[in-house]
Each structure stands twice: as C-alpha cells, then as structure tokens.
Amino acid sequence: MNALIPSAWAQGAGPSASGQVAPLLMMVVFIAIFYFLLIRPQQKKAKDHQAMIAKLSVGDEVVTSGGILGRITDVGDTFVTLEIADSVRIKVQKTQVTSLVPKGTLKSA
C-alpha cells in the first residue's frame, strides 16, 4: 500500500518579500520610461508651440497645419490673417500655425 502513495515532501516557504517587490519595481521602471520617452517630450513640444504662438507678429512668415505658407498681416486674440498671394488674405486660428519660416521664404516659393 505504501508503494501506491508517494511520500509527501515538505513544501518550501511561501514567496519571499523580494519576489513580491520585483513586479512592483518593474511597473515603476516602465512608468518612468513611458514618462521620459513619451509624455515629457510631448509636453515640451506643446509648451514651445504656445510660446511661438504668443510671439506671432505682423510680417512674420508662417506655415499652417494645412500646409499654407503666408505672411501675417493682422494678429487677433484667436485668429491671424495671412496674405497667401497678392491681395489674397485668409483668416486662420492661431493654433493652426505650426512653424515660423525665415523671412523671404514666401518670395522664393
């Protein structure tokens, strides 16, 4: 009868404290990596864009998010007026201005 029932071996101790801390530590590391690679650069980019928008002035040449190149003729609180060709002016939201380009770019385009 003893041959059919295997001997019971003593169970090892429960999981150690370091075994419980490792997954938590990995989560913290992943969150830190996520923050420094994705969130922080995006916040910096948004901050730089807001600073650029605040500095827009008449005569600046800009590109909009739609790819329109123009010279600013009027700056309002939320809109700017762009001259995209001789006597052709359009109004766009300030937030749609994506970048300033060097002066003289409009003449060469």
Over residues 45-60, the pLDDT tens digits come to 999 999 999 999 999 9
Domain contains 103: yes
| Structural domain harbouring 61 | 57-108
Domain contains 22: yes
Claim to verify: residue 22 and residue 61 sit in the same structural domain: no
User: How many structural domains does the chain have?
Assistant: 2
Exposed, middle or buried by CB within 10 Å (0-12, 13-18, 19+), for 62? Answer: buried
Structure tokens at 107: 């003449």
Contact status, residue 33 vs residue 81, Cβ threshold 8 Å: no
Give the CATH number of the domain where residue 91 resides. 2.30.30
Claim to verify: residue 68 and residue 95 sit in the same structural domain: yes
Model confidence pTM above 0.85: no
Does residue 93 surpass a pLDDT of 70? yes
Domain contains 47: yes
Claim to verify: residue 61 and residue 51 sit in the same structural domain: no
Over residues 63-79, the pLDDT tens digits come to 999 999 999 999 999 99
Domain contains 50: yes
Phi, psi of 9 (to 5 degrees): -95, 150
Contact status, residue 83 vs residue 71, Cβ threshold 8 Å: yes
Report the percentage of the chain scoring pLDDT > 70. Answer: 82
